[in-house]
């Protein structure tokens, strides 16, 4: 396997060639590996999305608390075991139903416009290529899982993102679009009756809206945990745009909560062949 050959060990040429490791020197060499990673439009829409999603989810949970169930009056609903139990107030925003609705129906435009700008930008600017699923992705995802579970020694080779990240970042705008669609269906169940009916009626559309929200929460929580657990250096790339390739999880062979110190990168990529 080529990936095992690139795995560093104490006796590898990369380490042997590294300078006698003064911190200042290695600092200078890593700075050379900082490359622009995220365009400012991507960074801006990312952080606007944090605000918009945060407002939408917390105000939506406050709206949900006015009737924390799904069943139509006089009927039962199969698929929600927590009916009647409100969401903890600390997770909600808006203060009361009307306040939360006002926030929800204002912030929805922030979420929608921001999402449209993001998707249009990555489509026109080419970033979509780093996210769009490819045929080898399921296998690569499996390899990542194996690596994370210590069933594989070496970090699989990856492009800008690993296969698990790709699937998460590709799902995010899709879930966002579904949130908008199911949201329209419960906002205007009479004006858009065909849409609401296609989703199974108002009660089910409200349920799908809730599930899509849960999916967005799940993705976001995993995303934030993984940023700090595997690649905290990527935080910089989402703020200033610069990313130090020599500190990438692949370069460090890092698993969640198991970081390796960044190692000096090989001088040239052809080093092994020569």
Partner 1 sequence: MNRRRFFTFGAGSVAAAALGACDSFGPKSATSLLRYAERKNERLERWLFNTGSRNDFGKGARLSGRAFPRYFVSKTIPMWNEAERGMWRLEVGGAVRQPLSLTLDDLMKMRSVSQRVDHFCVEGWTARAEWTGVRVSELARAAGATSDAQYVDFQSFDSDYHESWDIDSALHPQTLVAYGMDRAMLGPGHGAPARVHSPVKLGYKNTKYLTRILFMPTRAGGYWSDRGYEWYGGV
Based on the shown chain and the rule CB under 8 A, indicate whether residue 239 belongs to the binding site for partner 1: yes
Smaller CB separation from partner 1, 146 or 223 = 223
Cβ atoms of 164 and 141 within 8 Å: the answer is yes
Q: Tell me the closest approach of the beta carbon of residue 259 to partner 1, in angstroms.
A: 18
Cβ atoms of 148 and 255 within 8 Å: the answer is yes
Smaller CB separation from partner 1, 79 or 90 = 90
From 2, 4, 5, 191, residue interacting with partner 1 (rule: CB under 8 A): 191
Q: Tell me the closest approach of the beta carbon of residue 210 to partner 1, in angstroms.
A: 10
Residue 244 sits at φ, ψ, to 5 deg, of -90, 105
From 16, 90, 149, 151, residue interacting with partner 1 (rule: CB under 8 A): 90
Q: What angle do CA 260, 243, 52 make, to 5 degrees?
A: 110
Based on the shown chain and the rule CB under 8 A, indicate whether residue 94 belongs to the binding site for partner 1: yes
Q: With CA atoms as reference, report the closest residue to 122 among 176, 158, 164.
A: 176
Per-residue binding string, partner 1, 130-169, x by CB under 8 A, is ----------------------------------------
Based on the shown chain and the rule CB under 8 A, indicate whether residue 6 belongs to the binding site for partner 1: no
**Near partner 1 by CB under 8 A, which window of 22-30, 59-67, 244-252, 260-268?**
59-67
Q: Tell me the closest approach of the beta carbon of residue 245 to partner 1, in angstroms.
A: 19
Q: How far is CA 198 from CA 112, 181, 185, 207, 216, in A?
A: 22, 11, 9, 13, 22
Cβ atoms of 127 and 91 within 8 Å: the answer is no
Outline where DSSP puts E strands in the chain: 34-36, 242-244
Based on the shown chain and the rule CB under 8 A, indicate whether residue 189 belongs to the binding site for partner 1: yes
Burial group, residue 123, by CB count within 10 angstroms (0-12, 13-18, 19+): exposed
Contacts of 12 (CB under 8 A, 6+ apart): none
**Near partner 1 by CB under 8 A, which window of 120-128, 151-159, 190-198, 214-222?**
190-198
Can you give the binding site for partner 1, defined by CB under 8 A?
A: 54, 58, 63-64, 66-67, 69, 72-75, 89-99, 101-103, 105-106, 109, 188-191, 193, 201-203, 206, 239-240
């Amino acid at each position: 396997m080529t990936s095992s050959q690139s795995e560093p060990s104490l006796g590898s040429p990369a380490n042997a060639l590294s300078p006698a490791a003064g911190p200042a020197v290695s600092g200078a060499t890593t700075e050379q590996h900082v490359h622009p990673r995220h365009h400012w439009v991507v960074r801006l829409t990312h952080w606007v999305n944090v605000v918009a999603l945060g407002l939408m989810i917390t105000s939506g949970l406050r709206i949900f608390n006015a009737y924390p169930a799904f069943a139509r009056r006089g009927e039962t609903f199969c698929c929600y075991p927590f009916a009647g139990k409100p969401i903890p107030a600390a997770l909600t925003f808006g203060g009361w139903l009307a306040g939360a609705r006002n926030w929800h129906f204002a912030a929805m435009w922030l979420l929608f416009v921001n999402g449209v700008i993001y998707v249009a930008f990555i489509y026109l600017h080419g970033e979509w290529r780093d996210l769009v699923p490819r045929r080898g992705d399921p296998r690569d995802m499996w390899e990542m899982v194996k690596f994370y579970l210590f069933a594989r020694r070496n970090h699989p080779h990856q492009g800008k993102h690993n296969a698990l990240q790709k699937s998460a970042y590709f799902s995010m705008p899709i879930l966002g679009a579904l949130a908008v669609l199911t949201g329209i269906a419960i906002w205007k169940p009479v004006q858009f009756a065909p849409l609401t009916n296609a989703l199974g009626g108002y009660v089910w559309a409200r349920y799908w809206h809730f599930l899509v929200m849960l999916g967005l929460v799940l993705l976001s929580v995993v995303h934030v945990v993984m940023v700090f657990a595997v690649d905290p250096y990527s935080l910089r790339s989402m703020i200033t745009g610069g990313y130090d390739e020599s500190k990438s999880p692949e370069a460090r062979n890092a698993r969640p909560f198991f970081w390796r110190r960044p190692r000096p990168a090989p001088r040239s990529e052809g080093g092994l062949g020569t």
